Amino acid sequence: MNQFALWLASTPPSVFIQEHNAWAIPAIQSVHIVGIALVMGSVLMIDLRILGLAWTDRTLQQTTRRHGAASFDRELLRAHRIDRMIKGIETGDPWDSVIELALGIAGKSVLAAA
């Protein structure tokens, strides 16, 4: 187990986090919290609808269609890409991507009108 821990500590993402821990750790935690909020927000939305406490003007099928499996997968992949950007594994602006993630969760178009 010790060898695995030593190997893990020497991987490029781990070294990057160790060298940039002043901002990398809070940024990674922020992406993680957004991911948890995505999951819990979707669960809460469905639970409130099932209990009849919210969105009673829509059918349950309309409510679940708003954030179906494809939507969940897309936003989870977006959160994963943000995590990779923060770790320096993937190029891109993580802050712009967080905005895109928030818009995607809200069900708004991510592409700006030209």
Residue 21 falls inside a structural domain:
no
Residue 76 falls inside a structural domain:
yes
For residue 75, give its domain range: 28-106
Residue 88 falls inside a structural domain:
yes
Helices (H) and strands (E) in the chain, counts: 6, 0
Residue 18 falls inside a structural domain:
no
Number of structural domains in the chain:
1
Among 85, 108, 80, smallest CA distance to 96 is for 85
**How do residues 37-79 score in pLDDT, each as one tens digit?**
888 887 887 777 778 777 677 676 765 666 777 777 888 888 8
Q: Is 0.75 topped by the overall pTM?
A: no
Residue 114 falls inside a structural domain:
no
Task: Give the burial string for 26-38 (b: 16+ CB within 10 Å, else e).
Answer: ebbeebeebbeeb
Cβ proximity of 65 and 110 under 8 Å: no
